[in-house]
């Protein structure tokens, strides 16, 4: 375990927050998970339960360790419950105004020495840090989805992040059994700078009628050995998160090659956000996913 960290706070009980809570508890940390509503908390705890059980079934985790991990996780809707946290990982919706508003409410509650990290996919760490009372103890700790499976975590310093904060975060990530890499604070960092334009291009391929959802995903799975097709992956990440990342690349790098595909914009406008909303490039409401185009 990272020496100076005992209690981990996680805000946002969606795909990423649940994953971070899951791996932190397996590593032996006390974890407190926060979301805005009871329903989100219940859904999140059910996800963690299901994923831990899956690891037991596949022999990756003993049932004893599953029980121990579950005992280490508490959850609530009250930010005050993070008053004793040593590190807080923010994993709420990819919306900069929401994140800034959250930090304004959260910072007065935290201990002055608490490290605050954002799991943002694409926002400027320096700009987010400026919305806190602790820019030197703020940084990007970017986990990959699904967290219990993916080995990588990108570490991103803001302009003010101090070295002790960076080292503590790196030690914490290693204690979770993950491999850290370092990215400079540029829009979408390294993984998403490369991955999101590929996904956006796949959506253009669909939009221009070059191929169907099925043919595009099959082509990339069988032709380029990707574990998921790009449209299936977009649905898995969340189309809102993909769009926000493309917008950050487009605005931040001022280059038209990053223009979000209008079809991606339309799907997000429709509330078709992928797996989490039941519909995206596939419709998940039946037994098997059905392509929507």
Ligand X SMILES: CC(=O)CC(=O)SCCNC(=O)CCNC(=O)[C@H](O)C(C)(C)COP(=O)(O)OP(=O)(O)OC[C@H]1O[C@@H](n2cnc3c(N)ncnc32)[C@H](O)[C@@H]1OP(=O)(O)O
Supply the residues annotated as catalytic.
121, 142, 154, 192
Q: With binding defined as CB under 6 A, does residue 11 bind ligand NDP?
A: yes
* Tokens of residue 243, six digits: 């769009």
30-34 and 179-183 beta bridge pairing: unpaired
Residue 228, contacted partner among ligand NDP, ligand X, none, CB below 5-8 A by kind: ligand X
Give the number of other Cβ atoms within 10 Å of residue 268's Cβ: 21
CA-CA distance, 21 to 119, in Å (whole number)?
A: 13
* Dist. CA 11–CA 26, nearest whole Å: 18
Q: Contact 122/260 with Cβ under 8 angstroms?
A: no
Under the binding rule (CB under 6 A), the answer on residue 124 touching ligand X is no
What is the total count of residues that contact ligand NDP (CB under 6 A)? Answer: 27
Report in angstroms how near the CB of residue 258 gets to ligand X at its nearest.
15
- Shorter beta-carbon distance to ligand X: residue 35 or 235: 235
For residues 223 and 51, what is the distance between their CA atoms, to the nearest angstrom?
30
Determine the interface stretch with ligand X among 49-57, 73-81, 109-117, 203-211 (rule: CB under 6 A): 49-57
Most distant CA pair in the chain: distance in Å?
55
Shortest reach from residue 22's CB to ligand X, in Å: 8
- By a kind-dependent CB cut-off of 5 to 8 A, residue 51 interacts, out of ligand X, ligand NDP, none, with ligand X
User: What count of residues does the chain have?
Assistant: 293
227 binds, among ligand NDP, ligand X, none (CB under 5 to 8 A by kind): ligand X
3-state secondary structure (DSSP) of residue 183: strand
Q: Does 10 bind ligand X (CB under 6 A)?
A: no
200 lies in the binding site for ligand NDP (CB under 6 A): no
Q: Does 118 bind ligand X (CB under 6 A)?
A: no
State both tokens at 49: 């339960």
- 100 vs 215, which CB is nearer to ligand NDP? 100
What secondary structure letter does DSSP report for 150?
A: -
Binds ligand NDP by CB under 6 A, chosen from 10, 176, 237, 249: 237
198 vs 265, which CB is nearer to ligand X? 198
Taking CB under 6 A as the rule, does residue 202 contact ligand X?
no
Q: Among 70, 96, 131, 146, which residue interacts with ligand X (rule: CB under 6 A)?
A: 146
User: Is residue 17 near ligand NDP by the rule CB under 6 A?
Assistant: yes
Calpha distance 37→24 (Å, rounded): 22
* Phi, psi for residue 140 in degrees, rounded to 5: -90, 130
């Amino acid at each position: 375990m990272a020496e100076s960290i005992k209690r981990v706070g996680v805000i946002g009980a969606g795909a990423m927050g649940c994953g971070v809570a899951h791996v932190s508890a397996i590593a032996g940390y006390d974890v407190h998970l926060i979301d805005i509503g009871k329903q989100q908390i219940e859904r999140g705890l059910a996800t963690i339960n299901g994923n831990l059980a899956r690891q037991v079934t596949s022999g990756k985790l003993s049932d004893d360790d599953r029980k121990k991990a579950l005992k280490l996780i508490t959850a609530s809707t009250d930010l005050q419950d993070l008053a004793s946290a040593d590190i807080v990982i923010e994993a709420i919706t990819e919306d900069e105004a929401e994140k800034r508003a959250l930090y304004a409410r959260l910072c007065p509650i935290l201990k002055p020495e608490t490290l605050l990290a954002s799991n943002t996919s694409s926002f400027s760490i320096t700009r987010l840090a400026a919305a806190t009372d602790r820019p030197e103890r703020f940084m990007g700790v970017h986990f990959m989805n699904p967290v219990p499976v993916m080995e990588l975590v990108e570490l991103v310093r803001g302009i003010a992040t101090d070295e002790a904060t960076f080292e503590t975060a790196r030690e914490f990530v290693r204690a979770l059994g993950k491999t850290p890499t370092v990215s400079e604070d540029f829009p979408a960092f390294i993984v998403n700078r490369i991955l999101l334009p590929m996904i956006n291009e796949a959506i253009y391929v669909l939009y221009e009628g070059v191929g169907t959802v099925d043919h595009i995903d099959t082509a990339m799975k069988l032709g380029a050995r990707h574990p998921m097709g790009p449209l299936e992956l977009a649905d898995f990440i969340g189309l809102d998160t993909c769009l926000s990342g493309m917008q950050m690349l487009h605005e931040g790098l001022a280059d038209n090659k990053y223009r979000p595909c209008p079809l991606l914009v339309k799907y997000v406008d429709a509330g078709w956000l992928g797996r989490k909303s039941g519909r995206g490039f596939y419709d998940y409401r039946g037994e098997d996913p059905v392509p929507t185009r």
